[in-house]
Structure 1
Protein backbone atom coordinates (compact mmCIF):
# COMPACT_ATOMS: atom_id res chain seq x y z
CA UNK A 1 0.00 0.00 0.00
CA UNK A 2 1.63 3.24 -1.15
CA UNK A 3 -0.90 5.85 0.00
CA UNK A 4 -4.11 6.06 1.98
CA UNK A 5 -5.92 9.15 0.75
CA UNK A 6 -8.87 9.31 3.16
CA UNK A 7 -9.47 9.23 6.89
CA UNK A 8 -12.17 7.77 9.11
CA UNK A 9 -15.61 9.42 8.81
CA UNK A 10 -14.48 11.55 5.87
CA UNK A 11 -17.14 12.27 3.25
CA UNK A 12 -16.21 11.18 -0.27
CA UNK A 13 -17.82 11.47 -3.68
CA UNK A 14 -18.20 8.95 -6.48
CA UNK A 15 -14.89 8.31 -8.23
CA UNK A 16 -12.75 9.94 -5.53
CA UNK A 17 -9.47 8.01 -4.98
CA UNK A 18 -9.38 6.22 -1.63
CA UNK A 19 -6.11 4.27 -1.66
CA UNK A 20 -3.14 3.96 -4.00
CA UNK A 21 -1.16 0.73 -4.30
CA UNK A 22 2.47 0.61 -5.44
CA UNK A 23 2.06 0.94 -9.21
CA UNK A 24 5.67 0.80 -10.43
CA UNK A 25 5.32 -2.64 -12.01
CA UNK A 26 2.10 -1.66 -13.77
CA UNK A 27 3.60 1.63 -14.95
CA UNK A 28 6.58 -0.22 -16.42
CA UNK A 29 4.26 -2.69 -18.14
CA UNK A 30 2.26 0.20 -19.61
CA UNK A 31 5.41 1.92 -20.88
CA UNK A 32 6.52 -1.34 -22.51
CA UNK A 33 3.11 -1.82 -24.13
CA UNK A 34 3.10 1.75 -25.43
CA UNK A 35 6.58 1.27 -26.89
CA UNK A 36 5.36 -1.89 -28.62
CA UNK A 37 2.40 0.02 -30.02
CA UNK A 38 4.65 2.76 -31.40
CA UNK A 39 6.93 0.12 -32.92
CA UNK A 40 3.93 -1.53 -34.57
CA UNK A 41 2.90 1.83 -36.02
CA UNK A 42 6.40 2.30 -37.44
CA UNK A 43 6.29 -1.18 -38.97
CA UNK A 44 3.08 -0.29 -40.80
CA UNK A 45 4.70 2.85 -42.23
CA UNK A 46 7.71 0.82 -43.41
CA UNK A 47 5.47 -1.88 -44.88
CA UNK A 48 3.39 0.71 -46.73
CA UNK A 49 6.54 2.34 -48.13
CA UNK A 50 7.84 -1.04 -49.28
CA UNK A 51 4.50 -1.83 -50.91
CA UNK A 52 4.53 1.51 -52.74
CA UNK A 53 8.04 0.80 -54.01
CA UNK A 54 6.98 -2.69 -55.10
CA UNK A 55 3.96 -1.24 -56.92
CA UNK A 56 6.26 1.18 -58.77
CA UNK A 57 8.51 -1.74 -59.73
CA UNK A 58 5.46 -3.55 -61.13
CA UNK A 59 4.67 -0.53 -63.32
CA UNK A 60 8.26 -0.38 -64.61
CA UNK A 61 8.40 -4.13 -65.23
CA UNK A 62 5.06 -4.04 -67.01
CA UNK A 63 6.27 -1.22 -69.27
CA UNK A 64 9.41 -3.20 -70.14
CA UNK A 65 7.32 -6.29 -70.89
CA UNK A 66 4.98 -4.34 -73.17
CA UNK A 67 7.95 -2.83 -75.00
CA UNK A 68 9.50 -6.26 -75.51
CA UNK A 69 6.22 -7.65 -76.82
CA UNK A 70 5.87 -4.76 -79.26
CA UNK A 71 9.43 -5.32 -80.50
CA UNK A 72 8.69 -9.00 -81.00
CA UNK A 73 5.51 -8.25 -82.95
CA UNK A 74 7.36 -5.70 -85.07
CA UNK A 75 10.10 -8.19 -85.93
CA UNK A 76 7.51 -10.78 -86.89
CA UNK A 77 5.77 -8.29 -89.15
CA UNK A 78 8.98 -7.91 -91.15
CA UNK A 79 9.89 -10.37 -93.88
CA UNK A 80 11.54 -13.26 -92.07
CA UNK A 81 14.38 -13.26 -94.64
CA UNK A 82 15.17 -9.63 -93.86
CA UNK A 83 16.25 -10.34 -90.27
CA UNK A 84 18.62 -12.86 -88.81
CA UNK A 85 17.63 -15.76 -86.58
CA UNK A 86 19.95 -14.33 -83.95
CA UNK A 87 17.88 -11.13 -83.82
CA UNK A 88 14.65 -13.10 -83.41
CA UNK A 89 16.20 -15.18 -80.66
CA UNK A 90 17.38 -12.01 -78.91
CA UNK A 91 13.89 -10.47 -79.00
CA UNK A 92 12.34 -13.70 -77.72
CA UNK A 93 14.84 -13.82 -74.85
CA UNK A 94 14.10 -10.20 -74.02
CA UNK A 95 10.38 -11.01 -73.73
CA UNK A 96 11.10 -13.97 -71.45
CA UNK A 97 13.35 -11.87 -69.23
CA UNK A 98 10.81 -9.03 -69.08
CA UNK A 99 8.03 -11.50 -68.23
CA UNK A 100 10.13 -13.01 -65.44
CA UNK A 101 10.91 -9.57 -64.00
CA UNK A 102 7.23 -8.61 -64.16
CA UNK A 103 6.14 -11.80 -62.38
CA UNK A 104 8.80 -11.27 -59.72
CA UNK A 105 7.66 -7.66 -59.22
CA UNK A 106 4.03 -8.76 -58.83
CA UNK A 107 5.03 -11.41 -56.29
CA UNK A 108 7.04 -8.83 -54.39
CA UNK A 109 4.06 -6.47 -54.31
CA UNK A 110 1.81 -9.27 -53.04
CA UNK A 111 4.36 -10.03 -50.34
CA UNK A 112 4.44 -6.37 -49.30
CA UNK A 113 0.63 -6.27 -49.14
CA UNK A 114 0.72 -9.34 -46.90
CA UNK A 115 3.33 -7.59 -44.76
CA UNK A 116 0.95 -4.63 -44.37
CA UNK A 117 -1.83 -6.97 -43.25
CA UNK A 118 0.51 -8.62 -40.74
CA UNK A 119 1.67 -5.21 -39.47
CA UNK A 120 -1.94 -4.09 -39.03
CA UNK A 121 -2.68 -7.24 -37.02
CA UNK A 122 0.40 -6.58 -34.89
CA UNK A 123 -0.79 -3.00 -34.33
CA UNK A 124 -4.22 -4.25 -33.22
CA UNK A 125 -2.57 -6.69 -30.80
CA UNK A 126 -0.32 -3.92 -29.47
CA UNK A 127 -3.37 -1.72 -28.94
CA UNK A 128 -4.98 -4.49 -26.88
CA UNK A 129 -1.77 -4.80 -24.84
CA UNK A 130 -1.86 -1.06 -24.11
CA UNK A 131 -5.52 -1.23 -23.06
CA UNK A 132 -4.81 -4.20 -20.79
CA UNK A 133 -1.80 -2.44 -19.23
CA UNK A 134 -3.93 0.66 -18.61
CA UNK A 135 -6.59 -1.52 -17.01
CA UNK A 136 -4.06 -3.19 -14.73
CA UNK A 137 -2.69 0.23 -13.77
CA UNK A 138 -6.20 1.47 -12.96
CA UNK A 139 -6.58 -1.40 -10.49
CA UNK A 140 -3.81 0.12 -8.35
CA UNK A 141 -6.13 3.00 -7.44
CA UNK A 142 -9.34 2.20 -5.59
CA UNK A 143 -12.04 4.85 -5.93
CA UNK A 144 -15.32 5.43 -4.13
CA UNK A 145 -18.19 3.61 -5.88
CA UNK A 146 -20.76 6.05 -4.46
CA UNK A 147 -21.14 9.19 -2.38
CA UNK A 148 -20.84 8.49 1.32
CA UNK A 149 -18.68 8.46 4.43
CA UNK A 150 -15.67 6.31 5.23
CA UNK A 151 -16.00 4.04 8.25
CA UNK A 152 -13.82 1.43 9.95
CA UNK A 153 -10.72 2.22 7.95
CA UNK A 154 -8.17 -0.49 8.76
CA UNK A 155 -5.58 -0.01 6.01
CA UNK A 156 -2.30 1.79 6.60
CA UNK A 157 0.36 2.97 4.16
CA UNK A 158 3.23 0.50 3.81
CA UNK A 159 1.15 -2.57 4.57
CA UNK A 160 0.97 -5.56 2.26
CA UNK A 161 -2.67 -6.34 1.62
CA UNK A 162 -3.95 -9.80 0.72
CA UNK A 163 -6.35 -10.17 -2.23
CA UNK A 164 -9.92 -9.77 -1.05
CA UNK A 165 -8.96 -8.16 2.25
CA UNK A 166 -11.27 -5.43 3.55
CA UNK A 167 -9.64 -2.01 3.62
CA UNK A 168 -12.45 0.22 4.85
CA UNK A 169 -16.19 0.62 4.88
CA UNK A 170 -18.24 3.11 2.88
CA UNK A 171 -21.63 4.19 4.15
CA UNK A 172 -23.62 5.64 1.26
CA UNK A 173 -25.52 8.89 1.50
CA UNK A 174 -28.66 7.16 0.26
CA UNK A 175 -30.41 5.77 3.34
CA UNK A 176 -33.66 3.90 3.73
CA UNK A 177 -35.64 2.18 6.47
CA UNK A 178 -36.14 -1.55 6.83
CA UNK A 179 -39.34 -2.10 8.79
CA UNK A 180 -39.87 -5.65 10.06
CA UNK A 181 -43.65 -6.06 10.02
CA UNK A 182 -45.45 -9.11 11.34
CA UNK A 183 -46.74 -11.39 8.64
CA UNK A 184 -50.25 -10.73 9.93
CA UNK A 185 -49.77 -7.01 9.21
CA UNK A 186 -48.81 -7.48 5.55
CA UNK A 187 -52.30 -7.70 4.01
CA UNK A 188 -53.02 -4.36 2.39
CA UNK A 189 -49.39 -3.19 2.28
CA UNK A 190 -48.12 -2.71 -1.25
CA UNK A 191 -45.33 -0.79 -2.99
CA UNK A 192 -46.15 2.88 -3.37
CA UNK A 193 -48.14 3.22 -0.15
CA UNK A 194 -47.31 6.49 1.66
CA UNK A 195 -45.55 6.27 5.00
CA UNK A 196 -44.02 8.39 7.71
CA UNK A 197 -40.87 7.73 9.72
CA UNK A 198 -39.66 9.14 13.02
CA UNK A 199 -36.05 8.61 14.01
CA UNK A 200 -34.76 8.60 17.58
CA UNK A 201 -31.64 10.51 16.53
CA UNK A 202 -33.82 13.33 15.17
CA UNK A 203 -36.57 13.80 17.77
CA UNK A 204 -39.62 15.86 16.97
CA UNK A 205 -39.38 15.49 13.19
CA UNK A 206 -41.52 13.23 11.02
CA UNK A 207 -40.13 12.32 7.61
CA UNK A 208 -42.24 11.46 4.59
CA UNK A 209 -41.55 8.14 2.86
CA UNK A 210 -43.21 5.42 0.80
CA UNK A 211 -43.13 1.64 0.54
CA UNK A 212 -40.49 0.68 -2.01
CA UNK A 213 -40.67 -3.12 -1.84
CA UNK A 214 -41.54 -6.11 0.32
CA UNK A 215 -38.98 -8.86 0.81
CA UNK A 216 -39.90 -12.22 -0.75
CA UNK A 217 -39.36 -14.15 2.45
CA UNK A 218 -39.26 -13.69 6.19
CA UNK A 219 -36.24 -12.35 7.97
CA UNK A 220 -35.59 -15.75 9.53
CA UNK A 221 -35.28 -17.44 6.14
CA UNK A 222 -32.31 -15.27 5.14
CA UNK A 223 -30.58 -15.24 8.53
CA UNK A 224 -27.16 -16.88 9.00
CA UNK A 225 -28.79 -19.61 11.09
CA UNK A 226 -32.34 -20.07 9.76
CA UNK A 227 -34.83 -21.66 12.11
CA UNK A 228 -35.33 -25.40 11.69
CA UNK A 229 -38.99 -26.38 11.95
CA UNK A 230 -38.50 -30.04 12.79
CA UNK A 231 -41.35 -32.53 12.57
CA UNK A 232 -43.33 -32.48 15.80
CA UNK A 233 -42.57 -28.83 16.58
CA UNK A 234 -46.05 -27.35 16.83
CA UNK A 235 -45.08 -24.04 18.44
CA UNK A 236 -46.34 -21.35 16.10
CA UNK A 237 -44.26 -18.16 15.99
CA UNK A 238 -45.45 -15.16 14.03
CA UNK A 239 -42.74 -14.30 11.52
CA UNK A 240 -41.63 -10.85 10.47
CA UNK A 241 -41.10 -9.71 6.89
CA UNK A 242 -38.76 -6.81 6.02
CA UNK A 243 -40.47 -3.94 4.21
CA UNK A 244 -38.23 -1.34 2.57
CA UNK A 245 -39.28 2.30 3.00
CA UNK A 246 -37.63 5.01 0.89
CA UNK A 247 -37.59 8.64 2.01
CA UNK A 248 -39.41 11.29 -0.01
CA UNK A 249 -38.25 14.08 2.31
CA UNK A 250 -35.35 16.35 1.27
CA UNK A 251 -34.69 17.15 4.93
CA UNK A 252 -33.06 13.74 5.38
CA UNK A 253 -29.82 15.10 3.88
CA UNK A 254 -29.59 17.69 6.66
CA UNK A 255 -29.12 15.09 9.38
CA UNK A 256 -26.34 12.63 10.08
CA UNK A 257 -28.37 9.46 9.62
CA UNK A 258 -26.48 6.18 9.73
CA UNK A 259 -27.29 2.47 9.35
CA UNK A 260 -28.47 0.81 12.55
CA UNK A 261 -30.30 3.80 14.01
CA UNK A 262 -33.70 3.21 15.57
CA UNK A 263 -36.73 4.36 13.60
CA UNK A 264 -40.48 4.06 13.96
CA UNK A 265 -42.37 3.75 10.66
CA UNK A 266 -46.06 4.14 9.97
CA UNK A 267 -47.68 3.06 6.69
CA UNK A 268 -50.97 4.49 5.45
CA UNK A 269 -52.87 1.70 3.71
CA UNK A 270 -54.53 2.63 0.44
CA UNK A 271 -58.01 1.33 -0.27
Structure 2
Protein backbone atom coordinates (compact mmCIF):
# COMPACT_ATOMS: atom_id res chain seq x y z
CA UNK A 1 0.00 0.00 0.00
CA UNK A 2 2.84 2.42 0.77
CA UNK A 3 4.50 1.59 -2.53
CA UNK A 4 1.34 2.55 -4.40
CA UNK A 5 1.26 5.97 -2.72
CA UNK A 6 4.97 6.64 -3.41
CA UNK A 7 4.74 6.25 -7.17
CA UNK A 8 2.24 9.09 -7.76
CA UNK A 9 4.25 11.36 -5.51
CA UNK A 10 7.43 10.60 -7.42
CA UNK A 11 5.62 11.23 -10.73
CA UNK A 12 4.33 14.60 -9.58
CA UNK A 13 7.75 15.54 -8.31
CA UNK A 14 9.30 14.66 -11.63
CA UNK A 15 6.75 16.77 -13.50
CA UNK A 16 7.41 19.68 -11.18
CA UNK A 17 11.16 19.37 -11.66
CA UNK A 18 10.77 19.25 -15.43
CA UNK A 19 8.48 22.28 -15.35
CA UNK A 20 10.88 24.15 -13.10
CA UNK A 21 13.75 23.23 -15.42
CA UNK A 22 11.83 24.51 -18.42
CA UNK A 23 11.09 27.76 -16.61
CA UNK A 24 14.74 28.14 -15.69
CA UNK A 25 15.87 27.47 -19.27
CA UNK A 26 13.24 29.85 -20.63
CA UNK A 27 14.29 32.45 -18.12
CA UNK A 28 17.94 32.06 -19.03
CA UNK A 29 17.09 32.22 -22.74
CA UNK A 30 14.85 35.23 -22.19
CA UNK A 31 17.46 37.05 -20.14
CA UNK A 32 20.12 36.35 -22.75
CA UNK A 33 17.83 37.58 -25.52
CA UNK A 34 16.95 40.67 -23.51
CA UNK A 35 20.60 41.41 -22.78
CA UNK A 36 21.49 40.83 -26.43
CA UNK A 37 18.64 43.04 -27.68
CA UNK A 38 19.52 45.78 -25.19
CA UNK A 39 23.02 46.06 -26.74
CA UNK A 40 22.31 45.26 -30.40
CA UNK A 41 20.25 46.72 -33.21
CA UNK A 42 19.15 43.99 -35.60
CA UNK A 43 17.31 43.73 -38.90
CA UNK A 44 16.54 41.06 -41.45
CA UNK A 45 15.67 43.68 -44.08
CA UNK A 46 19.11 43.54 -45.65
CA UNK A 47 20.81 42.06 -48.66
CA UNK A 48 24.17 41.68 -50.35
CA UNK A 49 24.98 44.36 -52.91
CA UNK A 50 27.82 44.62 -55.38
CA UNK A 51 29.37 47.18 -57.68
CA UNK A 52 28.34 46.51 -61.24
CA UNK A 53 29.06 48.08 -64.61
CA UNK A 54 26.67 47.86 -67.55
CA UNK A 55 28.10 46.93 -70.94
CA UNK A 56 26.50 49.28 -73.46
CA UNK A 57 26.88 49.43 -77.23
CA UNK A 58 28.19 52.85 -78.30
CA UNK A 59 27.57 52.30 -82.03
CA UNK A 60 24.87 50.53 -83.99
CA UNK A 61 25.48 47.45 -86.09
CA UNK A 62 25.27 43.70 -86.38
CA UNK A 63 27.13 41.58 -83.84
CA UNK A 64 29.95 39.84 -85.69
CA UNK A 65 31.40 37.76 -82.85
CA UNK A 66 30.71 37.12 -79.17
CA UNK A 67 33.46 36.11 -76.75
CA UNK A 68 31.58 35.57 -73.46
CA UNK A 69 29.09 33.14 -71.98
CA UNK A 70 26.36 33.55 -69.39
CA UNK A 71 27.83 34.17 -65.91
CA UNK A 72 31.38 33.90 -67.26
CA UNK A 73 34.45 35.52 -65.75
CA UNK A 74 36.06 38.44 -67.57
CA UNK A 75 39.08 40.62 -66.98
CA UNK A 76 39.40 44.34 -67.56
CA UNK A 77 40.10 45.20 -71.22
CA UNK A 78 39.03 41.73 -72.40
CA UNK A 79 37.19 41.87 -75.74
CA UNK A 80 33.59 40.91 -75.07
CA UNK A 81 32.06 41.21 -78.52
CA UNK A 82 32.70 42.74 -81.93
CA UNK A 83 30.29 44.65 -84.15
CA UNK A 84 30.61 44.47 -87.93
CA UNK A 85 32.91 47.41 -88.78
CA UNK A 86 32.80 47.41 -92.60
CA UNK A 87 30.50 50.43 -92.84
CA UNK A 88 32.63 52.37 -90.37
CA UNK A 89 35.82 51.56 -92.31
CA UNK A 90 34.25 52.85 -95.53
CA UNK A 91 33.07 55.98 -93.73
CA UNK A 92 36.61 56.51 -92.43
CA UNK A 93 38.04 56.20 -95.95
CA UNK A 94 35.50 58.76 -97.22
CA UNK A 95 36.40 61.12 -94.37
CA UNK A 96 40.12 60.76 -95.19
CA UNK A 97 39.43 61.53 -98.87
CA UNK A 98 37.42 64.62 -97.90
CA UNK A 99 40.27 65.70 -95.66
CA UNK A 100 42.78 65.44 -98.52
CA UNK A 101 40.47 67.47 -100.77
CA UNK A 102 40.13 70.12 -98.07
CA UNK A 103 43.91 70.28 -97.74
CA UNK A 104 44.24 70.79 -101.52
CA UNK A 105 41.64 73.59 -101.37
CA UNK A 106 43.62 75.17 -98.54
CA UNK A 107 46.82 75.13 -100.60
CA UNK A 108 44.95 76.74 -103.51
CA UNK A 109 43.52 79.42 -101.22
CA UNK A 110 46.95 80.18 -99.79
CA UNK A 111 48.36 80.44 -103.33
CA UNK A 112 45.59 82.89 -104.22
CA UNK A 113 46.44 84.91 -101.12
CA UNK A 114 50.07 85.00 -102.20
CA UNK A 115 49.07 86.20 -105.67
CA UNK A 116 46.87 88.86 -104.10
CA UNK A 117 49.75 90.10 -101.96
CA UNK A 118 51.94 90.17 -105.05
CA UNK A 119 49.21 92.16 -106.81
CA UNK A 120 49.52 94.85 -104.15
CA UNK A 121 53.24 95.12 -104.85
CA UNK A 122 52.64 95.42 -108.60
CA UNK A 123 49.87 97.97 -108.13
CA UNK A 124 52.07 100.01 -105.78
CA UNK A 125 54.94 99.96 -108.29
CA UNK A 126 52.61 101.06 -111.10
CA UNK A 127 51.32 103.85 -108.89
CA UNK A 128 54.88 105.02 -108.26
CA UNK A 129 55.53 105.10 -112.01
CA UNK A 130 52.26 106.94 -112.58
CA UNK A 131 53.21 109.44 -109.87
CA UNK A 132 56.55 110.14 -111.55
CA UNK A 133 54.85 110.64 -114.91
CA UNK A 134 52.22 112.90 -113.34
CA UNK A 135 54.86 115.04 -111.64
CA UNK A 136 56.83 115.32 -114.90
CA UNK A 137 53.70 116.21 -116.84
CA UNK A 138 52.82 118.93 -114.27
CA UNK A 139 56.35 120.29 -114.46
CA UNK A 140 56.16 120.34 -118.29
CA UNK A 141 52.84 122.15 -118.07
CA UNK A 142 54.27 124.84 -115.80
CA UNK A 143 57.28 125.31 -118.09
CA UNK A 144 55.21 125.44 -121.29
CA UNK A 145 52.76 127.85 -119.65
CA UNK A 146 55.70 130.22 -119.00
CA UNK A 147 56.95 129.77 -122.54
CA UNK A 148 53.46 130.44 -123.89
CA UNK A 149 53.20 133.57 -121.81
CA UNK A 150 56.50 134.69 -123.36
CA UNK A 151 55.13 133.85 -126.85
CA UNK A 152 57.84 131.18 -127.16
CA UNK A 153 55.47 128.32 -128.07
CA UNK A 154 52.20 128.05 -129.84
CA UNK A 155 48.79 127.52 -128.27
CA UNK A 156 48.65 124.01 -129.76
CA UNK A 157 51.86 123.00 -128.03
CA UNK A 158 50.43 124.26 -124.74
CA UNK A 159 47.23 122.27 -125.34
CA UNK A 160 49.26 119.11 -125.95
CA UNK A 161 51.12 119.66 -122.68
CA UNK A 162 47.84 120.21 -120.82
CA UNK A 163 46.40 117.02 -122.33
CA UNK A 164 49.47 115.02 -121.33
CA UNK A 165 49.26 116.40 -117.77
CA UNK A 166 45.55 115.51 -117.47
CA UNK A 167 46.17 112.04 -118.89
CA UNK A 168 48.95 111.31 -116.39
CA UNK A 169 46.74 112.63 -113.56
CA UNK A 170 43.99 110.18 -114.52
CA UNK A 171 46.50 107.33 -114.86
CA UNK A 172 47.80 108.08 -111.37
CA UNK A 173 44.29 108.02 -109.92
CA UNK A 174 43.62 104.73 -111.72
CA UNK A 175 46.84 103.32 -110.24
CA UNK A 176 45.63 104.33 -106.76
CA UNK A 177 42.31 102.57 -107.42
CA UNK A 178 44.24 99.46 -108.48
CA UNK A 179 46.03 99.46 -105.10
CA UNK A 180 42.65 99.62 -103.30
CA UNK A 181 41.34 96.80 -105.49
CA UNK A 182 44.45 94.70 -104.82
CA UNK A 183 44.06 95.19 -101.07
CA UNK A 184 40.41 94.17 -101.32
CA UNK A 185 41.49 91.05 -103.20
CA UNK A 186 43.90 90.24 -100.37
CA UNK A 187 41.06 90.49 -97.84
CA UNK A 188 38.90 88.18 -99.94
CA UNK A 189 41.77 85.71 -100.39
CA UNK A 190 42.56 85.80 -96.66
CA UNK A 191 38.90 85.04 -95.86
CA UNK A 192 38.99 82.08 -98.23
CA UNK A 193 42.15 80.82 -96.51
CA UNK A 194 40.41 81.07 -93.12
CA UNK A 195 37.40 79.25 -94.55
CA UNK A 196 39.61 76.55 -96.04
CA UNK A 197 41.49 76.12 -92.73
CA UNK A 198 38.19 75.72 -90.89
CA UNK A 199 37.09 73.11 -93.42
CA UNK A 200 40.35 71.21 -92.96
CA UNK A 201 39.87 71.23 -89.19
CA UNK A 202 36.28 70.02 -89.65
CA UNK A 203 37.36 67.18 -91.92
CA UNK A 204 40.12 66.23 -89.46
CA UNK A 205 37.52 66.10 -86.67
CA UNK A 206 35.37 63.84 -88.85
CA UNK A 207 38.31 61.48 -89.26
CA UNK A 208 38.85 61.40 -85.50
CA UNK A 209 35.14 60.73 -85.01
CA UNK A 210 35.16 57.89 -87.54
CA UNK A 211 38.23 56.37 -85.88
CA UNK A 212 36.49 56.63 -82.53
CA UNK A 213 33.39 54.88 -83.85
CA UNK A 214 35.54 52.24 -85.48
CA UNK A 215 37.19 51.60 -82.12
CA UNK A 216 33.76 51.30 -80.49
CA UNK A 217 32.99 48.27 -82.67
CA UNK A 218 35.20 46.23 -80.33
CA UNK A 219 33.52 46.30 -76.92
CA UNK A 220 35.83 45.57 -73.98
CA UNK A 221 35.26 44.98 -70.27
CA UNK A 222 35.69 48.11 -68.19
CA UNK A 223 36.11 46.15 -64.93
CA UNK A 224 37.13 42.67 -63.82
CA UNK A 225 34.30 40.47 -62.64
CA UNK A 226 31.57 38.09 -63.71
CA UNK A 227 28.87 38.87 -66.23
CA UNK A 228 25.19 38.21 -65.76
CA UNK A 229 22.89 36.82 -68.40
CA UNK A 230 23.84 38.16 -71.83
CA UNK A 231 21.10 39.77 -73.91
CA UNK A 232 22.75 39.49 -77.31
CA UNK A 233 23.71 36.82 -79.83
CA UNK A 234 25.90 36.82 -82.99
CA UNK A 235 24.07 38.29 -85.97
CA UNK A 236 21.77 40.37 -83.80
CA UNK A 237 21.41 44.07 -84.60
CA UNK A 238 22.17 46.33 -81.64
CA UNK A 239 21.43 50.02 -81.27
CA UNK A 240 23.78 52.65 -79.87
CA UNK A 241 23.02 52.97 -76.17
CA UNK A 242 21.55 49.46 -75.88
CA UNK A 243 22.46 47.55 -72.71
CA UNK A 244 23.97 44.18 -73.60
CA UNK A 245 24.75 42.72 -70.18
CA UNK A 246 26.18 43.67 -66.80
CA UNK A 247 29.53 42.90 -65.18
CA UNK A 248 29.48 42.43 -61.41
CA UNK A 249 32.70 43.39 -59.65
CA UNK A 250 33.63 40.46 -57.40
CA UNK A 251 35.78 42.68 -55.22
CA UNK A 252 33.03 45.15 -54.45
CA UNK A 253 30.50 43.23 -52.32
CA UNK A 254 28.90 45.01 -49.36
CA UNK A 255 25.69 44.93 -47.35
CA UNK A 256 22.79 47.37 -47.44
CA UNK A 257 20.71 47.00 -44.28
CA UNK A 258 17.45 48.95 -43.93
CA UNK A 259 17.06 49.86 -40.25
CA UNK A 260 13.99 51.47 -38.75
CA UNK A 261 14.25 55.16 -38.05
CA UNK A 262 13.78 54.42 -34.32
CA UNK A 263 17.02 52.40 -34.38
CA UNK A 264 19.19 55.22 -35.74
CA UNK A 265 20.22 56.67 -32.33
CA UNK A 266 22.27 53.52 -31.70
CA UNK A 267 23.91 53.36 -35.16
CA UNK A 268 27.20 55.14 -35.93
CA UNK A 269 29.79 54.96 -38.70
CA UNK A 270 32.54 52.45 -37.86
CA UNK A 271 30.26 50.34 -35.66
CA UNK A 272 30.95 46.58 -35.69
CA UNK A 273 28.43 44.34 -37.43
CA UNK A 274 27.60 40.62 -37.24
CA UNK A 275 26.33 39.28 -40.54
CA UNK A 276 24.49 36.03 -41.25
CA UNK A 277 23.59 34.98 -44.79
CA UNK A 278 20.25 33.18 -45.06
CA UNK A 279 21.56 30.82 -47.71
CA UNK A 280 24.56 29.79 -45.57
CA UNK A 281 23.34 29.51 -41.98
CA UNK A 282 26.73 28.28 -40.77
CA UNK A 283 28.55 31.28 -42.23
CA UNK A 284 29.06 34.20 -39.84
CA UNK A 285 30.72 37.30 -41.25
CA UNK A 286 32.07 40.41 -39.62
CA UNK A 287 31.83 43.94 -40.90
CA UNK A 288 31.46 47.56 -39.92
CA UNK A 289 29.16 50.45 -40.76
CA UNK A 290 30.65 52.36 -43.69
CA UNK A 291 27.95 54.98 -44.28
CA UNK A 292 24.42 55.96 -43.35
CA UNK A 293 22.03 57.28 -45.99
CA UNK A 294 20.91 60.91 -45.81
CA UNK A 295 17.41 59.92 -46.89
CA UNK A 296 14.95 57.11 -46.22
CA UNK A 297 14.50 54.35 -48.74
CA UNK A 298 11.06 55.68 -49.67
CA UNK A 299 12.63 58.91 -50.95
CA UNK A 300 14.54 56.95 -53.59
CA UNK A 301 11.42 55.27 -54.96
CA UNK A 302 9.93 56.20 -58.32
CA UNK A 303 6.90 57.79 -56.65
CA UNK A 304 7.99 58.90 -53.17
CA UNK A 305 5.15 59.33 -50.67
CA UNK A 306 4.00 62.82 -49.74
CA UNK A 307 2.36 63.13 -46.34
CA UNK A 308 0.73 66.40 -47.41
CA UNK A 309 -1.59 64.57 -49.81
CA UNK A 310 -4.35 62.05 -49.17
CA UNK A 311 -5.11 60.45 -45.83
CA UNK A 312 -2.02 60.52 -43.63
CA UNK A 313 -1.05 57.21 -42.03
CA UNK A 314 2.16 57.27 -40.04
CA UNK A 315 4.49 54.47 -41.07
CA UNK A 316 7.87 53.80 -39.52
CA UNK A 317 10.44 54.59 -42.21
CA UNK A 318 13.60 52.64 -42.92
CA UNK A 319 17.01 54.17 -43.58
CA UNK A 320 19.61 52.34 -45.72
CA UNK A 321 22.91 51.66 -43.95
CA UNK A 322 25.96 50.53 -45.93
CA UNK A 323 28.03 47.85 -44.18
CA UNK A 324 31.45 46.83 -45.42
CA UNK A 325 32.34 43.14 -45.16
CA UNK A 326 35.66 42.39 -43.47
CA UNK A 327 37.91 40.11 -45.55
CA UNK A 328 35.23 39.84 -48.24
CA UNK A 329 37.72 38.28 -50.67
CA UNK A 330 37.72 35.11 -48.53
CA UNK A 331 34.02 34.53 -49.21
CA UNK A 332 33.79 35.22 -52.94
CA UNK A 333 32.60 31.67 -53.59
CA UNK A 334 29.51 32.31 -51.44
CA UNK A 335 28.73 36.01 -51.85
CA UNK A 336 26.14 36.85 -54.48
CA UNK A 337 24.48 40.20 -55.07
CA UNK A 338 20.89 40.07 -53.90
CA UNK A 339 21.26 37.42 -51.16
CA UNK A 340 19.19 38.05 -48.04
CA UNK A 341 21.10 38.55 -44.80
CA UNK A 342 20.52 39.36 -41.15
CA UNK A 343 22.58 42.09 -39.54
CA UNK A 344 23.22 42.88 -35.89
CA UNK A 345 25.04 46.05 -34.79
CA UNK A 346 26.56 46.10 -31.31
CA UNK A 347 26.47 49.34 -29.35
* Change in 2 beyond 3 A, CA 1:93/1:198: same
Tell me, yes or no, if structure 1 residue 125 matches structure 2 residue 207: no
Say which structure is richer in helix: 2
Residue 252 of structure 1 is aligned with which of 314, 328, 339? 328
| Number of the residue aligned with 2:36 | none
| Number of the residue aligned with 1:266 | 344
Say which structure is richer in strand: 2
Q: Distance in 2 between matches of 1:195 and 1:35?
A: 65
* Change in 2 beyond 3 A, CA 1:168/1:97: same
Q: Distance in 2 between matches of 1:88 and 1:202?
A: 118
| Number of the residue aligned with 1:211 | 290
Tell me, yes or no, if structure 1 residue 95 matches structure 2 residue 158: no
Secondary structure of residue in 2 paired with 1:73: helix
Q: Distance in 1 between matches of 2:203 and 2:134?
A: 53
Matches for 1:1-271 after TM superposition, within 5 Å? 1-78=63-140, 79-81=142-144, 84-85=160-161, 86-161=163-238, 166-173=243-250, 174-199=252-277, 206-214=285-293, 216-218=295-297, 222=301, 240-247=318-325, 249=326, 251-256=327-332, 257-269=335-347
Q: Distance in 2 between matches of 1:154 and 1:181?
A: 35
Q: Distance in 1 between matches of 2:281 and 2:97?
A: 60
Q: Distance in 2 between matches of 1:258 and 1:10?
A: 14
- 1:171-218 C-alpha deviation (Å, 9 max, x unpaired): 123111122334443332134434344556595663333232237224
Q: Distance in 1 between matches of 2:137 and 2:300?
A: 103
Secondary structure of residue in 1 paired with 2:114: helix
Deviation at 1:21, TM superposition (A): 1.7
TM-score by length of 2: 0.62
Structure 2 gap segments, 5+ residues each: 1-62, 148-156
Q: Distance in 2 between matches of 1:52 and 1:99?
A: 20
Asked if 2 retains the 8 angstrom alpha-carbon contact of 1:5 and 1:19, the reply is: yes
Deviation at 1:134, TM superposition (A): 4.0
Structure 1 gap segments, 5+ residues each: none
Q: Distance in 2 between matches of 1:76 and 1:43?
A: 48
Asked if 1 retains the 8 angstrom alpha-carbon contact of 2:276 and 2:285, the reply is: yes
Asked if 1 retains the 8 angstrom alpha-carbon contact of 2:268 and 2:289, the reply is: no
- Aligned pair count reads 262
Q: Distance in 2 between matches of 1:140 and 1:150?
A: 19
